[in-house]
Amino acid sequence: DMATRLRKTRRLRGGRHMGWGQVGQHRASGHKGGLGVTGMKKHHRSSMMMYEPDHYGHDIPKTPHPNIIKKWASLRDLDDLFTKFGKEEGGKKIIDLESAGYDKLLGGGKITNAYSVKVKQFTASAEEKLKAVGGEVLSNNG
């Protein structure tokens, strides 16, 4: 058999007589599925999602609130956290929540042990309950 690459067919592939019939078929704007951004929500949706995922919507100029709390702990968690991150120095039980990746201490739950907790932010009730059992909050911003 003759090799495919040597057949006359190979020469004709890109010409006007093969594939889409006579002149101009498959060529004009009518074959694009519309002009410009037509069909982005309909028949061109998949290509829009693939190549232009940010096509819709807008960027907000600034973050809604600069002070975003990402990770927090309640007082009831302190016993567990002490076994994980805590250390005793000079008779004080110190928990460094800051370096443990916690942003804020909340006042949920009951507490019996006196801890010195190092943390960026804390609620009033958390501080109150800690002080009531002889603990303290160590914070750089207040």
Domains and CATH numbers, the chain: 26-57 (no CATH), 72-139 (3.100.10.10)
Q: What average pLDDT does range 92-117 have in this prediction? A: 90
> Which pLDDT does position 125 carry in this prediction?
94
- Give the model confidence (pLDDT) of 84-100 as tens digits: 888 888 888 899 998 88
Q: Looking only at Cα atoms, what is the longest distance across the chain?
A: 96
Name the more confident of 90 and 128: 128
Euclidean distance between CA atoms 124 and 17, whole angstroms: 83
Sheet containing 87-89: order of strands: 87-89, 92-96, 115-118, 136-138
Cβ atoms of 85 and 67 within 8 Å: the answer is no
Which three-class secondary structure state does DSSP give residue 125? helix
Q: What average pLDDT does range 38-61 have in this prediction? A: 91
Residue located via tokens 């005793």: 88
> Which pLDDT does position 107 carry in this prediction?
92
- Give the model confidence (pLDDT) of 9-47 as tens digits: 998 887 778 888 777 788 888 889 998 889 999 999 999
DSSP 49-92: HHH-TTSSS---SS-S-S-----EEEGGGHHHHHHHH-EEETTE
